[in-house]
Structure 1
Amino acid sequence: MNAPIPSPPVPARREFALGAVHALPIVVGAVPFGLLLGSLAAKAGISPLEMGLMSGLVFAGSSQFVAVELWSKGAAGAAVAGSILLVNLRHLLMGATLAPRLAGRPPLRVGAALFLMADEVWALALRRGEALTFAYWFGVGLTLYVAWLASTVAGTLAGALIADPAAWGLDFTFIAVFLCLLAGFWKGAGSLPPWLASAGAALGAHALMPGGPWHIVAGALAGGAVAAWRGRAS
């Protein structure tokens, strides 16, 4: 009996384009969120150039909101940097889930890819599964990166034109995006324990320490711990 003929690899250009297309629904939610962040930054006295540098170097929406809030309250630079680091500690867990797919790859390419790792990029990468390629990752990541950079700078430039950004509902758009991503990970009732643990820990931490970023870390650690425990138990 003849052995099956392996299918030819998908061209990198096509994989990149597919990643960019898959990122477009996320961009729809990210742009209003970026405009909101830029508007708040303008009111905190942050210039469009400073906003562009922050988005270009940090590229993390939730931690940038924390940074802008602290900046507006006159916090020291070390406190702002420390808060950004704390909020982004969840990336350690996210990176660990991708380690098996990145093992043995060129370090420079892996480093460039991980620079673009945001929650949405990570979620789409996991959904891609074994078919994940660097081209697909960069298609998703660069599309979101450019949209985020442009929208935050545009929001800072137009900040004075929007008196109350939250009144327009712009602050809910990213929440809606995350809910859609969460729905994509639903695999039945077995998905609930990590979600419930994460939600409970985040709500508890927020109640005990309101106004800080600790609830993000608490939710990530609790959800990851339950998921790991269930994986070992099975």
Structure 2
Amino acid sequence: MNMHVVDRVNVASEIRQGLADIAPVLVAMVPIGLLFGAVCTTKGWTTSEVWLMSSLVFSGGAEFAAIGIWTLPVPYLALFVSTVLVSARHVLMGVSLAPKMRAFKGWKLWAAAWFMTDEAWALGEKRARMCSLTVSYWFFMAVPVHLVWFMSTITGSIVGPMLGDPAVIGLDFAFTALFIGLIAGFWQGRLTVWTLVASGSASAVVAMLVGEPWNVLAGAAAGIAAAWFASPADVEKAA
């Protein structure tokens, strides 16, 4: 078979796999985006402002943290600190994923970094365990996240007033449910249990005693510490 034909077949296969892997995440993301848009309307935001937020920030965690503390006058310092704390995890995610993205050169690497989300990172790491992480797979897996988030947040800002209290129909749990599903794909026995218990407990305690967004930093630090101090047997078993 001609090598060009083989390359086209491989690219098509990578595209299909990327779309297939991200599809369940996109379904779960729709109610989260609707929730964010609806919450924005309760803060007095217009649809154009929601559009600008989703386009420029493109970080569900940072956006929820920001809208949660949004008041008038705008607390600029609190917004800055919360965004930095919530988004700091992307540094570790990038360091983890970078060695697996050797095929990404020049603008492709910068574009890949822009489209990196928690969901894309998790699926990219999972894919890299089985085979090479290709450009075709990454972009057709990661870009739809941006498009669905963009469209669902805008829709939420439009229909938000008609939804009423999001908690009544369970939309407030959608964000949590999505991450539970992603964590399940990385289950590694006792090592995962200790990490989840440590990060969850620290986050909950700090949230009650100090408040957001410091619970995010506490949860991340506790989870990293738990994984670091895990017994060698657990680490070897998880490998």
Spell out, residue by residue over 1:58-91, the C-alpha distance to the aligned partner (whole angstroms, 9 max, x if none): 1111211121122245433443233222211111
Mapping for residues 171-182 of structure 1, pairs under 5 Å = 171-182=172-183
Spell out, residue by residue over 1:111-136, the C-alpha distance to the aligned partner (whole angstroms, 9 max, x if none): 11111111111111111124321221
| Partner amino acid, structure 2, of 1:215 | N
Quick check: 1:40 aligned with 2:1? no
Whether contact under 8 Å (1:34, 1:152) holds in the other structure is: yes
Quick check: 1:20 aligned with 2:19? yes
Distance 1:165 1:88, change over 3 A: same
Whether contact under 8 Å (1:93, 1:224) holds in the other structure is: no
| Per-residue deviation, 1:213 | 0.9
Q: How many residues align?
A: 226
| Per-residue deviation, 1:196 | 2.2
Whether contact under 8 Å (2:101, 2:133) holds in the other structure is: no
Superposition CA RMSD, Å: 2.2
| Per-residue deviation, 1:99 | 2.3
SS in structure 2 opposite 1:106? Answer: coil
Give, in whole Å, the separation in 2 of the partners of 1:117 and 1:229.
28
The corresponding residue for 2:108 is 109
SS in structure 2 opposite 1:131? Answer: coil
Percent identity for Structure 1 against Structure 2:
37
The corresponding residue for 1:221 is 221
User: TM-score when scaled to structure 2?
Assistant: 0.85
Whether contact under 8 Å (1:45, 1:72) holds in the other structure is: no
Whether contact under 8 Å (1:197, 1:226) holds in the other structure is: yes
Whether contact under 8 Å (1:205, 1:215) holds in the other structure is: yes
Give, in whole Å, the separation in 1 of the partners of 2:230 and 2:183.
19
Give, in whole Å, the separation in 1 of the partners of 2:102 and 2:220.
23
Give, in whole Å, the separation in 1 of the partners of 2:63 and 2:178.
18
User: TM-score when scaled to structure 1?
Assistant: 0.87
Whether contact under 8 Å (2:191, 2:227) holds in the other structure is: no
The corresponding residue for 1:3 is none
The corresponding residue for 2:3 is none
Whether contact under 8 Å (1:205, 1:214) holds in the other structure is: yes
| Per-residue deviation, 1:168 | 1.0
Distance 1:207 1:70, change over 3 A: closer
Q: Which runs of 5+ in 2 are unaligned?
A: 1-5
The corresponding residue for 1:197 is 198
| Partner amino acid, structure 1, of 2:176 | I
- Greater shift after overlay, 72-81 or 110-119? 72-81
| Partner amino acid, structure 2, of 1:71 | W
The corresponding residue for 2:74 is 75
| Partner amino acid, structure 1, of 2:55 | G
The corresponding residue for 1:4 is none
Distance 1:213 1:136, change over 3 A: same
| Partner amino acid, structure 2, of 1:201 | A
